[in-house]
A and B are shown apart, each in its own frame.
Chain A
Amino acid sequence: MTHDAQDAIDAVLAVDRLVHEPARLAILTVLGGAELVEFGFLETVCRLSKGNLSSHLSKLEAAGLVSIDKSFRGKRPLTRVSITGQGRDALERYRRQIAALINSAPTPNEETP
């Protein structure tokens, strides 16, 4: 195995798996574009069911990447989510890692037969 290939594998293995999961990545991306997001909007744009979204948010909250505020508007429960500084750093780090991986991958023309 070449040194470059080993580096690429190391880079893939170094990616934060909590952030790498597609649904959680979409959630963090949406949260990264705003200060505070209501549960309903996340559900609509991430195209996740309520249960699925709750489960992913719980994992992200446990890791300290998001903060969840639960209250009531009248009799209806109101859940508002925001990304924490740690979450923003994790998302930024993930983006940099993926960008580096994409840049290091050979383009189809460069592939050896």
Chain B
Amino acid sequence: MQTETAQLSRLAENTSRYARYSRSAGGLSLVIGGVLCLAAFTIGATVELTPAWRYVLVAAPLLWLASKELLRAFYYQRAGAVRERLSDKQRRGHFWMVAYLAAMALLIIGGLAWSAGARTWQWPGIAYVAIVAAMPLVAARWFWSTGDFLVGVLLVCQAAVVIVGLNYPWYWILIAALYAAIAIPTGWREHRDYLRLRDELGLRTAASEAADA
């Protein structure tokens, strides 16, 4: 009976580990986010930003979010979606992170409306406002870990700044590099953990059987 109890505990633990890939574990998407972040800030500071480059940099956060969703649905959770059960600490952390971003977004938009007046609501000011206003909403839906927060906020800020024809100065490359240095190893470690978990849960066998059928 002790063996069965231990097996059940392992099953519960493995389910929790698998469920993490629905929210707080990004795996390869965090690696992609880190690389995108570093690349976006390097391009933004060193390349002359033509309209084409600007649209590429604006699309970077969308590309990252798409990679997150696709990897979750078709790779990490292809055996069936399992939504992570958050601890109270995680829930509080997420709430305060979103609240902080919402307060920042309000401050930025308020400050802009105060200083730029009617120009705020004309192109490209309105695009800037839309991106800044979307940041807390994006965070509420997708940013469940520190890595997501660091990479996501930088990418969204970069998108907002380049759409109005500005760019971050070169030293932001160092900040992006620091964030990438946190995100890439974390994402890679999560991915390696998933590969072990896949074998423990027998998901690789199940996937090949499904493919054969």
Binding site for B on A (CB under 8 A): 22, 25-26, 29-30, 32-45, 80, 95, 98-99, 101-102
Q: Given A98-B1, A102-B2 in contact, is the A42-B80 Cβ separation under 8 Å? A: yes
Considering only residues 84-108 of chain B, those with a C-beta below 8 Å from chain A are: 84-86
Max count, chain A CB within 10 A of own CB: residue among B4, B12, B86, B206: B12
Indicate which residue in A29, A38, A99, A101 contacts B82 across the interface (CB closer than 8 Å). Answer: A38
- Known A44-B206, A98-B1: A30·B79 in contact at CB below 8 Å: no
> How many chain B residues touch A (Cβ–Cβ < 8 Å)?
26
Contact B5 A34 (CB under 8 A): no
Does chain A have a CB within 8 A of B119?
no
Is chain A's interface secondary structure helix, strand, loop, or mixed overall? helix
- The smallest beta-carbon distance between B57 and chain A, in angstroms, is 34
- Give 6 A-B contacts (CB < 8 Å), ordered by A residue: A33-B19, A33-B85, A34-B18, A37-B15, A38-B82, A95-B5
- Whether, in the assembled complex, B201 has its beta carbon less than 8 Å from a beta carbon of chain A, the answer is yes
Contacts known (A42-B80, A44-B206, A45-B11); A34 close to B201, Cβ less than 8 A: no
In the complex, chain A residues whose CB is within 8 Å of the CB of B85: 33-35
- B residues with a Cβ closer than 8 A to A are 1-2, 4-5, 8, 11-16, 18-19, 77, 79-86, 201-203, 206
- Chain B residue numbers with a CB within 8 Å of A40 are 79-80
Least CB distance from A44 to B in Å reads 5
State in angstroms the CA–CA spacing of A22 and B206 once bound together.
21
Chain A residues with CB under 8 Å of B5's CB are: 95, 98-99, 102
Q: A30–B11 contact, CB under 8 A?
A: yes
Cα–Cα, bound, A102→B8 (Å) = 15
Return chain A residues, CB-CB under 8 Å to B15. Answer: 29-30, 32-34, 37, 45
Closest B residue, CB atoms, query A36: B83
State the CA gap A22–B201 with chains docked (Å).
Answer: 18
B80 near A44: Cβ-Cβ < 8 Å: yes
Query: Is the pair B2, A34 in contact by a Cβ cutoff of 8 Å?
Result: no
Residues of chain B with a CB closer than 8 A to A95's CB:
5
Given the complex of chains A and B, what is the CA–CA distance between A55 and B201 in angstroms? Answer: 23
Give the contacting residue for B201; candidates A25, A32, A39, A44; CB below 8 A.
A44
Q: How far is the CA of A32 from the CA of B79 in the complex (A)?
A: 18
B120 nearest CB across to chain A (Å):
40
A34 touches B84 (CB 8 A): yes
